[in-house]
Amino acid sequence: MSRIVLGIGTSHTPMLNAPVSDWSRFIERDRVRPHLDKQGRPVSYEELLAQADASMEAQLRPERLAERHARALAEVERLGAAVRNARLDALIVVGDDQKELYGDDNMPAILLYRGKTIRNVPLADHPGPDWARDASARYFEKEAPRDYPVDDALAHHLIDHLIESEFDIACADSLADGYGEGHAFGFVHNRLLAGEVIPVVPVFLNTYYPPNQPTPARCHKLGRAIREAVESHPGDLRVGILASGGLSHFTVDEALDAQVIAALRAKDEAAFAALPRALLNSGNSEIRNWICMAGATGHLALRGLEYIPAYRTPAGTGTGLCFADWS
């Protein structure tokens, strides 16, 4: 019987692609981007700054940033080794697309990619400063496009099973000329796997953009249906499933992250379903990817989970970094 033998959850922020000396430079981006506060309300950077905790100065001390940066990179290495050592035949990657491939004219809630390969292309235009471009570029190929293998047979099996399970699945078998996979998937290929070639099955969730974001409960049910589909696949495949992104950002919300982590540890489907949807927007929305992965890994044991509140500005912006594995 084919089975899911590994679950991975990993943040994928460009902070993980940048030297620690650049973490404080993210203020250049955060000052001008829109934000949500911890109640999910739109706010400016200045409004976040006015609300910030008095302890934020201590969070931004150079030695604190260096310690968190080192821990985070060690976790990327640890999870990469876990994937490489699991002897997987295929890796299902659950990620979001931030209008890198799909836009307002065609925004599927759930899309499963079924081509024989998926392309990663070098970063072309980038509107930000050079340091930010360098961080974003690490998701992508350095010089020339590369086609990564997809387990298209498993992808088709998943689509068939999910349709029978009453999930209305969009699908795609190719990318438009000149386009490549987005950062959620590029992080897996170019950072986590670091040259290891494992056939993937990309699952795109519209975590970011109303009005058709899947609910937390739907994401968990999707993960459970993915596991059932894998177990009904003929043969004896060893399959992993990976959630790319999260946890809270761009405003770090340690309370929300603690709720998610508690639900992960307890395998608490009701707790996932009860997460306030008003808090699952902007970067926080990628928590949906973790919920889907959790639905698929209820039979596995948690082996390690590291949480790092990676603050980067006095306003409390940054990323609630999380890295976890189940086997």
For residue 43, give the H/E element and its range.
Answer: strand 42-43
Distance (Å, whole) CA 23 – CA 318: 9
| Other beta carbons within 10 Å of 156 | 15
pLDDT score, position 195: 78
**How far does CA 22 lie from the centroid of its chain?**
22
- Listed as ranges, residues in the chain with pLDDT below 50 are none
Q: Which residues are registered as beta bridge partners of 148?
A: 118
Instruction: Name the token pair of 163.
Output: 């349709």
- The packing angle between helices 254-266 and 287-296, to 10°, is 10
pTM summary value:
0.97
Report DSSP state, residue 208.
S
Q: 175 with 126: CB under 8 angstroms?
A: no
Q: Look at strands 238-244 and 3-10 and give their pairing.
A: parallel
- Residue reference for tokens 């009453």: 166
pLDDT tens digits, 30-44 = 999 999 999 999 999
- The predicted structure's pLDDT at residue 277: 96
Q: What is the pLDDT of residue 194?
A: 85
Alpha-helical (H) ranges within 267-323 are: 269-273, 287-296
- The long-range contacts involving 160-169, CB below 8 angstroms and separated by at least 24 positions, are 161/225, 161/228, 161/229, 161/232, 162/112, 162/222, 162/225, 162/226, 162/229, 165/225, 165/228, 165/229, 167/110, 167/222, 167/225, 168/109, 168/110, 169/110, 169/111, 169/112
Residue percentage of the chain with pLDDT more than 90: 95
CB contact at 8 A, 82 and 8: yes
Count the neighbouring beta carbons within 10 Å of the beta carbon of residue 144.
Answer: 7
For residue 128, give the DSSP letter.
S
d(CA 20, CA 319): 14
Q: What secondary structure, in 3-state letters, does 171-193 show?
A: EECCCCCCCCCCHHHHHHHHHHC
Single out the residue of 288, 104, 84, 94 nearest to residue 182, CA to CA.
94
pLDDT digits over 208-258, tens only?
999 999 999 999 999 999 999 999 999 899 999 999 999 999 999 999 999
Query: What is the model's pLDDT at position 187?
Result: 97
Q: How far is CA 135 from CA 31, 91, 93, 132, in A?
A: 18, 25, 21, 5
What are phi and psi for residue 255, nearest 5 degrees?
-70, -45
